[in-house]
Structure 1
């Protein structure tokens, strides 16, 4: 197979590139040259956002069996690329997002759920509209029969440049009391970036088309299992202090951004983020590795690059600010002294 990956040097694009190389495919990576492409690929340098219209010049010739596109910016960039390549590619796989569904979708939603409005001609628009516009751009230029829309849920794993799992690993590696959002049994759903890459290439090679929600089955792991795995792989002496969701919210700590990955179990957003219906992808061969493997391999990658994860410039940093956590720890200590004892940090009788 001849693959053209648009991106290919970071996170999802990097995982797709590595998966294709492992299969012995002929891989061309089109990127801006800001990060080194993996060994064994052909690099073509260009910038899809170039205002002079020449950013795609490096793609003026060549033909490929498959294009994989992970773009999340202006849909017009997907439109221009897809139109340029339409007559020279076999299939076009676009890594979209479950954010394209009207928010918040009910838990268990599948690919038939209502989607947001989008335009393939749009410039900079909010993330959900950008991903939907990108889908429409691919469908318009390539056609439904040759287009695969990978609507991913939460993506974790090596090469993550958003900072969610790396933040938890880094925080737990520092040790001490760690604010752990309860209850421990809160179910989580995500897809390891390598499983996403493998499934995308398998599905495209098999000739699949249309939209597929892509994540593990709901309840793949829990908040407790995930954070305890972080403690184990880092070898940390950190103490997870399980705290009720209502106490966390009352303190002004924001789910998802201050405490990455987590949203309260009772919040409708939990069903939208961790209750994705993935039956279609599972029936089409999706297999997800254990959450502990994702944690272990992310930590191995993180330590191999010095412990500091790369950060996408177009995404805000995530994670609880140290000063906020220090205020929480101080409050916890004051409460413990006033009551004369500290409640056990595990189970339902959580410290607040």
Structure 2
């Protein structure tokens, strides 16, 4: 299936979120405390968006030395005591990568590579002076989403024009570009690359508002449209869990391709709403509207419902990627209830005018329209849908 704009919005990382993330570290286990890592010098390409700051916080908590390379335009006030180098990922713009010439690092985390020419430029420049290159890709690098439990060996997306440097009108090039960036890094540093493919990255400081829409709406009460069915799968990963695991990959010099999706065990829309209820205490009435009906009424992957996808057909595997390889490599997950609680608390800490302008989710008008359409359809075709809360 050709990646759509919706897939880009679902799986894009730092470029889709301009917010910084400053999470607290999860308490280390006794085993982790007893195996203090050797201090490493780590270069972050980016570092001031969403995942980048979470990684910087996690890496510094483990005693590593960080250097950030970016244009200095997004949140330049972050981490005043961390070394910052300015330039451009495009070597043909301004000073380009000049600030990186001759610099040596143990590892590189690339959170901002979207075009293979630019990833190739940084990877080739750094190759003689770094031991490991960790590239943040995306599950959009896969060609299709129709196979549940597909692992890292699944078919990947391709580009009709390998030189293209636009996402395309509907972001149809996004997945192919991500895969081409992976290949560019691996070609420059064969055997020294970890290509990490996250799905939905959520949690505190996620300024897309995709995930927080659900607890926010649930807390308001009344009748709420619940998409699909309680058994529809949902995969998310807390930005803090991803960041801490990336630090671990660098500490262990781990390479390869990994699906960074969670939780560890399959999670469902029903369980997600149960988390919303536990966090908010609201007695919201859920009306489950089948995916087929939503597709017929405009919520077909380009609509307002965030994160959810139909659990059938071309989308059957979208929320069921295998994470077994990443778990074996040490990826751990905090409870989705904790992620839900912390994401909601963060959103409520924002200024009121920002809270009044959520960036994702059904508007009250659109939700009411869909619920009305579903109620009329049920009146014509059979009994009302089962409710749950």
Pairwise same-fold verdict (TM > 0.5): yes
Note the residue ranges of structure 2 that are not aligned, 5 or more in a row: 1-39, 168-172
Q: Counterparts of 1:255 and 1:174 in 2: how far apart (Å)?
A: 25
Deviation string, structure 1 residues 111-146 (Cα, Å, up to 9, x no partner): 222222258854224110111111112112222x21
Check if 1:226 corresponds to 2:272. yes
State the alpha-carbon separation in 1 of the partners of residues 379 and 150 from structure 2. Answer: 47
What is the aligned counterpart of 1:128 among 151, 169, 175?
175
Aligned residue in 1 for 2:332: 287
Which residue is equivalent to 1:142? Answer: 189
Counterpart of 1:34 in structure 2 is 74
Determine which of 239, 246, 260 is the counterpart of 1:193. 239
Aligned to 2:119: 78
5 Å-filtered alignment, 1:248-287, equals 248-255=294-301, 257-271=303-317, 273-287=318-332
Cα distance between partner residues in 2 of 1:195 and 1:337: 45
Listed as ranges, the matches of 1:198-209 within 5 Å are 198-209=244-255
> 1:322 & 1:61 partners in 2: Cα distance?
55
Q: Which residue of 2 aligns with 1:350?
A: none
Residue 335 and residue 100 in structure 1: after superposition, are their counterparts in 2 closer, same or farther (change >3 A)? closer
Deviates more, 1:195-204 or 1:45-54: 45-54
Tell me the equivalent position of 1:319.
361
1:140 partner SS = helix
**Unmatched tracts of structure 1, length 5 or more:** 312-316, 348-352
Structure 1 residues 137 and 230, CA gap change in structure 2 (3 angstroms):
same
Q: How many residues align?
A: 338
Structure 2 CA distance for partners of 1:27 and 1:304, relative to 1, 3 Å: farther
**Pairwise CA distance, 1:331:** 4.3
Q: CA deviation at 1:276?
A: 1.0
Q: In the alignment, which residue of structure 2 is the partner of 1:55?
A: 96
Helix, strand or coil at the partner of 2:69: strand
SS state at 2:109 partner: strand
Question: Which residue does the alignment assign to 2:148?
Answer: 107
Taking the aligned partners of 2:80 and 2:313, their CA distance within structure 1 comes to 44
Residues 137 and 157 (structure 1), Cα distance of their counterparts in 2 relative to 1, 3 Å cut: same
Which of 138, 150, 164 is equivalent to 1:97? 138
TM-score when normalising by structure 1: 0.84
Contact 1:68 1:93 in 2 (8 A): yes
Task: Tell me how far 1:277 sits from its aligned partner.
Answer: 1.7
Tell me if structure 2 keeps the 8 A contact 1:187–1:218: no
Instruction: Report SS of the residue matched to 2:272.
Output: helix
What's the CA shift for 1:219? 4.8
1:250-299 CA-to-partner distances (Å, cap 9, x unmatched) read 3222347522121222234131x211122211222121121111111111
* Residues 330/72 of structure 1: CA separation in 2 closer, same or farther (3 Å cut): farther
Q: Distance in 1 between matches of 2:272 and 2:331?
A: 21
Q: Structure 1's 328 and 49: CA in aligned 2 closer, same or farther, altered over 3 A? A: same
Superposed CA RMSD in Å reads 3.0
- Maintained 8 Å contact 1:188/1:219: no
| Cα pair distance change 1:45/1:142, threshold 3 Å | same
1:345 aligns with 2:384: no
Partner residue, 1:69: 110
Partner of 1:6 in structure 2?
A: 45
